[in-house]
Amino acid sequence: MTDTHAHIDLCEDPATVLERAAGLRALLTLGTDLEHSRASLELAEEYPNAYAGVGQHPTEAGSFDAAVAAALRELATHPRVRASGETGIDYYWDAASRADQLRVLDFQLELAEEFGLVLVFHVRSKQGSDAAERDLQAWLELNRPKRFVLHAFGGDMQLAAVALELGGYVSFAGNLTYKKNEHLRRAAAELPAERLLVETDSPFMPPVPKRGRKNEPAFVRYTLAALAEARGLEFAAAEKLTDENAQRLFQW
Ligand SMILES: [Zn+2]
C-alpha cells in the first residue's frame, strides 16, 4: 500500500504512526510552510519508506517571500524530496489573497521543473462555489505541468478531465468511504485505472470506520478497500495498481 499524501509532523506521535506504517510500500509527507517542510524532510531522512514534499500551502501564501522561496529551494535539492507542495488554491478559509496564492503556485511550478518534482495540488472552494476549481483549471491549462496530482479529489469532473488530459493523477482520500459521497465512488469507478492514487491526508479526514479519531497512514487500507469495491477489483489488485501508479509518478 502507498499513502501519497500525509502530514506526519502534524500527527500527535509521528514515531508511532510511522512504526505502524512500516509495512507501507511508500508514503509522502508534505510540508505546509517552511518549518513543516523541514520537519517533513527530517522524517523522510529517518524512515526508509517515507519521502517528503516541500512547499507553502495556499492558506499560508500570505507569508511567502523571497527568503522562504530560497529556503524551500535549498530543501528541494535533497534526494528524499519528491514533491513540490502542498500547493494549490483555497478559497474556503479566506486565509490568503488570490494573487498571493497564484504567486506561490507559480513558484511551486518552478521548483517542480527545476528539481524534477511532482506538484501536489489542494483545491477547495466555499460551499456551493467552484471558484477554486475553475482557477486551478485555468492555471493548469496555461502552465501545463508535466507531473502532478489532484490530492483528496473532491469530485469536480471538469477539473479531473483537464488534469487527465495533461497526464495528471487523481488521488482519493478517506472521504471516498463516507456514506454521502456516492459521486466520489462513481468517479473512482470511471477514472482511468493508470491515474488513480490513494492517500490519507493524515492526521485529517479519517476514513470509515476510523471517523472521530486522528487519521494515520496505516488507515489508507480503508480508502483502498473502497476504491477496490467501487471498481469491482480484489483488494490485492487495487493495491498493486495504486502502488505501481505511485511508483511511476514519484519514482521511489
Ligand atoms: Zn494535505
Going from the Cα of 229 to the center of ligand 1, the distance in angstroms, rounded, reads 25
Going from the Cα of 56 to the center of ligand 1, the distance in angstroms, rounded, reads 11
pLDDT in tens, 145-177: 999 999 999 999 999 999 999 999 999 999 999
Residues 6+ apart with CB under 8 A from 92: 124, 125, 126, 132
pLDDT of residue 99: 98
Going from the Cα of 5 to the center of ligand 1, the distance in angstroms, rounded, reads 6
Domains, the chain, ordered by start: 2-250 (3.20.20.140)
Q: Residue by residue, what is the 3-state secondary structure of the chain?
A: CEEEEECHHHCCCHHHHHHHCCCCCEEEEECCCHHHHHHHHHHHHHCCCEEEEECCCHHHHHHCCHHHHHHHHHHCCCCCEEEEEEEEEECCCCCCCHHHHHHHHHHHHHHHHHHCCEEEEEEECCCCCCHHHHHHHHHHHHHCCCCEEECCCCCCHHHHHHHHHHCCEEEECHHHHCCCCHHHHHHHHHCCHHHEEECCCECCCCCCCCCCCCCCHHHHHHHHHHHHHHHCCCHHHHHHHHHHHHHHHHCC
pLDDT in tens, 27-73: 999 999 999 999 999 999 999 999 999 999 999 999 999 999 999 99
Average pLDDT over residues 70-96: 98
Average pLDDT over residues 114-140: 98
Going from the Cα of 78 to the center of ligand 1, the distance in angstroms, rounded, reads 21
Going from the Cα of 93 to the center of ligand 1, the distance in angstroms, rounded, reads 14
**Grid cell listed for 98:** 488570490
In the chain, % of residues over pLDDT 90? 100
Q: State the pTM of this model.
A: 0.97
Going from the Cα of 7 to the center of ligand 1, the distance in angstroms, rounded, reads 6
Going from the Cα of 121 to the center of ligand 1, the distance in angstroms, rounded, reads 9
Going from the Cα of 230 to the center of ligand 1, the distance in angstroms, rounded, reads 24
| Band (250; pLDDT cuts 50, 70, 90) | very high
